[in-house]
Amino acid sequence: MLTLKDLRGSSIDAASVLPRASQDISTTIETVAPILENVRLHGVSALLDYSEKFDGVRPPALRVPAEKLREAAEQLEPEVRAALEELILRARQVHNAQLPESSEVSPGPDARVLNRWAPIRRVGLYVPGGQAVYPSSVVMNVVPAQVAGVRSLAIASPPQADFGGLPHPTILGAAHLLGIEEVYAVGGAQAVAMFAYGAKDESGQQVCPPVSLITGPGNIFVATAKRAVQGVVGIDSEAGPTEIMVLADETAPAELIAADLISQAEHDALAAAVLVTPSMSLAEAVGTQVELQARNTRHADRVKQALSGTQSAVLVVDTMEQGVEIANAYGAEHLEVMTGDDDAIVEQIHNAGAVFVGTHTPVSLGDYCAGSNHVLPTGGASAYSSGLNVSSFLRSQQVIRYGREGLRAVAGHVSALAQAEGLPAHGDAVQARFR
Ligand SMILES: NC(=O)c1ccc[n+]([C@@H]2O[C@H](COP(=O)([O-])OP(=O)(O)OC[C@H]3O[C@@H](n4cnc5c(N)ncnc54)[C@H](O)[C@@H]3O)[C@@H](O)[C@H]2O)c1
Ligand SMILES: N[C@H](CO)Cc1c[nH]c[nH+]1
Ligand SMILES: [Zn+2]
């Protein structure tokens, strides 16, 4: 099912070896653009229409009533509640350590520049709920936002036909555990549009005010919509269809690698699962294990589609150095390293959403309970963006305070640079203070 590509002896171009669905949005944007425009123009009625069309149910109301959140938390299965509580605890510990310090610098006498961090005022958090439901993504979105000090947090998640058009109850329960009161029953590109433009009902009442930043994972339609609304609002990164790359040598256990590849293929037919190894015997053993294990998975069809898609493969390379080169060129959302010398390999990795080291650190640990964040860049975006973290919800601002003597000390320099740039009024504005 996983194609084995023997790259030994060839010069390797990772991009052409592994095409990525989410890099080409030329098809999905045709679907998404009219959705964004309709929601911008028609607000709540368009949102409800799209839910009916794409999720097969018309929510009773766009905003979920507060008592539904409370009831859902009360009805959480005890073991699910305990797991969520543990995840929240660990995620808070890890994210608290990310808070940056403000600092004041005096670049000269009578001169002060304060570097301060300001939380974004209002954010929209997307929680997927199409092919699977993601209460863990509620925690991954909310915890860093709360640690950053964001005051206004809204969640959107697709309405579920089986639950009367509300988002899945575990999502509502997780939101309540975290103290979130604003949850909307809407998914896909339409939810992204609602956050970007806000949504009014037919009487002109604002049901969802617009946000300044949209974060959270989602399928190709969500990722395309996030890319399209950038500029109207900020986004975290494109956290689209899941990717796992495993970089392993002959010391690694084939059975566990196969389990990890299948675990991420389970998300989406567009998920990418890749093994890179210099060991042909490991490559073959993983191929056999994948065949065996994939038969017994609950979502066998989706897994099979993901693993046999062009985005997934087993790549056999000449050396581990070449493997590292491919891993960096690809910049996987998740990179697992299982080799005889993991620390040395990890040192050489510079592009990856997150790195999972050793045989006891599977991606699914990070998905749920490592304390790290599972909202991670896909489609090669790890080369320039980060997984969701506290700074995703902060802006760096400088507050500048110079006194008369501080300004006098640099007034001549300002005038000289202003003249050099052909902008003399800039210099005049400084000199005017000393006439
Ligand atoms: N990168 C990350 O950090 C990360 C984390 C978790 C999950 N994920 C990914 O999130 C995704 C979750 O996907 P999902 O589908 O389960 O839930 P989702 O909530 O992302 O998408 C469901 C929505 O997609 C829309 N949709 C479905 N088919 C459509 C169509 N043909 N046209 C227009 N809109 C359509 C519907 O509005 C539906 O509500 C997966 O791809 C998974 O791999 C990524
Ligand atoms: N693997 C996903 C990130 O791509 C996160 C997740 C949530 N639930 C299960 N897995
Ligand atoms: Zn996962």
Q: Which conformational region is residue 157 in: left (phi greater than 0), alpha (psi within -120 to 50 degrees), or beta?
A: beta
| Pocket, ligand 2, Cβ cutoff 6 A | 134, 136-137, 242, 264, 333, 367, 374
Which of 95, 168, 299, 334 does the annotation list as catalytic?
Answer: 334
Beta strands in 70-149 (DSSP E): 103-108, 111-119, 122-126
* Domain locations along the chain: 28-238, 240-383, 404-434
Return the ligand 2 atom nearest residue 243 CA: 4
pLDDT digits 0-9 by tens, 224-239: 999 999 999 999 998 9
pLDDT at 12: 72
Name the residue at shortest CA distance from atom 25 of ligand 1: 188
Q: Which conformational region is residue 379 in: left (phi greater than 0), alpha (psi within -120 to 50 degrees), or beta?
A: left
Name the residue at shortest CA distance from atom 9 of ligand 2: 367
How many other β-carbons are positioned within 10 Å of the β-carbon of residue 231? 8
Ligand 1 proximity of 241 Cβ (cutoff 6 Å): yes
C-alpha of residue 334 to centroid of ligand 3, in Å: 10
Whether 370 has a pLDDT exceeding 70, the answer reads yes
Return the ligand 1 atom nearest residue 222 CA: 20
C-alpha of residue 367 to centroid of ligand 2, in Å: 5
Q: How far apart are CA 123 and CA 353, in angstroms?
A: 22
Q: What is the mean pLDDT of residues 49-59?
A: 98
DSSP letter for each residue of 404-419: HHHHHHHHHHHHHHHH
ipTM for the complex shown? 0.99
Ligand 1 proximity of 353 Cβ (cutoff 6 Å): no
The band of 405, judged by pLDDT with boundaries at 50, 70 and 90, is: very high
Smallest-distance ligand from the CA of 267: 1
Whether 394 has a pLDDT exceeding 80, the answer reads yes
**327 and 335 in contact (C-beta within 8 Å)?**
yes
Question: What is the fold, at CATH topology level, of the domain defined by 240-383?
Answer: Rossmann fold (3.40.50)
Q: How far apart are CA 294 and CA 299, in angstroms?
A: 9
C-alpha of residue 186 to centroid of ligand 1, in Å: 12
Residue whose structure tokens are 């490592």: 370
**360 and 79 in contact (C-beta within 8 Å)?**
no
Which residues carry a binding-site annotation? Answer: 126, 190, 219, 242, 264, 267, 334, 367, 421, 426
**Does the fold of domain 240-383 match that of domain 28-238?**
yes
pLDDT at 313: 97
C-alpha of residue 109 to centroid of ligand 2, in Å: 52
Name the residue at shortest CA distance from atom 10 of ligand 2: 367
- In testing the pocket of ligand 1, which one of 48, 186, 219, 261 has its CB within 8 Å of the most ligand atoms? 219
**39 and 190 in contact (C-beta within 8 Å)?**
yes
**80 and 170 in contact (C-beta within 8 Å)?**
yes
Return the ligand 1 atom nearest residue 264 CA: 43
pLDDT at 393: 98
pLDDT at 21: 67
Q: Is 350 a catalytic residue?
A: no
pLDDT digits 0-9 by tens, 411-429: 999 999 999 999 999 999 9
C-alpha of residue 383 to centroid of ligand 1, in Å: 23
Q: How far apart are CA 388 and CA 222, in angstroms?
A: 16
- Secondary structure class of 243 (helix, strand, coil): strand
Q: How far apart are CA 50 and CA 188, in angstroms?
A: 9
Ligand 1 proximity of 168 Cβ (cutoff 6 Å): no
Enumerate residues 6+ apart whose C-beta is below 8 A from 137: 127, 128, 216, 217, 374, 375
Q: Is 334 a catalytic residue?
A: yes
Whether 22 has a pLDDT exceeding 90, the answer reads no
Ligand 1 proximity of 126 Cβ (cutoff 6 Å): no
What the block records as the tokens of 149 is 């000090």
Return the ligand 1 atom nearest residue 131 CA: 16
Q: How far apart are CA 287 and CA 285, in angstroms?
A: 5
Which of 333, 347, 350, 360 does the annotation list as catalytic?
Answer: 333
Which superfamily, per CATH, for 28-238? Nitrogenase molybdenum iron protein domain (3.40.50.1980)
Residue whose structure tokens are 């609304």: 229
How many other β-carbons are positioned within 10 Å of the β-carbon of residue 274? 25
Smallest-distance ligand from the CA of 134: 2
Q: Which of 430, 411, 406, 404 is nearest to 110 (CA)?
A: 406
C-alpha of residue 30 to centroid of ligand 2, in Å: 27
The band of 273, judged by pLDDT with boundaries at 50, 70 and 90, is: very high
Q: How far apart are CA 102 and CA 149, in angstroms?
A: 14
The band of 25, judged by pLDDT with boundaries at 50, 70 and 90, is: confident
Name the residue at shortest CA distance from atom 1 of ligand 2: 367
Name the residue at shortest CA distance from atom 31 of ligand 1: 54
Q: Is the pTM of this model over 0.90?
A: yes
